[in-house]
Amino acid sequence: MSLTRHEIREKAFQALFALNANPDADENQLFQQLLNPEEADDIEIPAYLSTLVTGVREHQAELDAQIQPYLSQKWSLDRLAKTDLIILRMAFFELQFVDDVPTKVAVNEAIELAKAFSDDRSRKFVSGVLGKVVKNQAN
């Protein structure tokens, strides 16, 4: 079973969302459930799935510190919808730590995740934050 990077990002989002609710969950077991809900055999975890989930978790404080300045003054990270925060963390992680993902791809993928897992307001919010990031990177 070979997943596209887009599908891997969806699974990574689902894993991060589950781990947000239950930080002590077994990552590998969670991956197996997400990738292989029917099967009893363990399947190989795509490397990029581990990269995203582990990377976002390890760099969470740093990512949150990078996201905060892009929020309007009346917003703090803990007021964000969990879905939006996790999507932004993934996007910021890819922008900063994954060399072979172009900025445009990271931004578009984050917007696609917001479309899939959230509502239109969230999609516009994620798009707005990442638009500012891209503009800053260009300067």
**What amino acid occupies position 114?**
A
- pTM of the full structure: 0.92
What size, in residues, is the chain?
Answer: 139
- Nearest-5° angle of CA 132, CA 110, CA 118? 110
Cα separation of the two ends of the chain: 41
- 12: nearest Cα among 93, 71, 81: 93
pLDDT tens, position by position, 65-99: 999 999 877 778 888 899 999 999 999 999 999 99
Could you tell me the two tokens for 46? 């795509």
Q: How many structural domains is the chain composed of?
A: 1
Residue 48 domain boundaries? 5-138
CATH at 29: 1.10.940.10
pLDDT tens, position by position, 110-126: 999 999 999 999 999 99
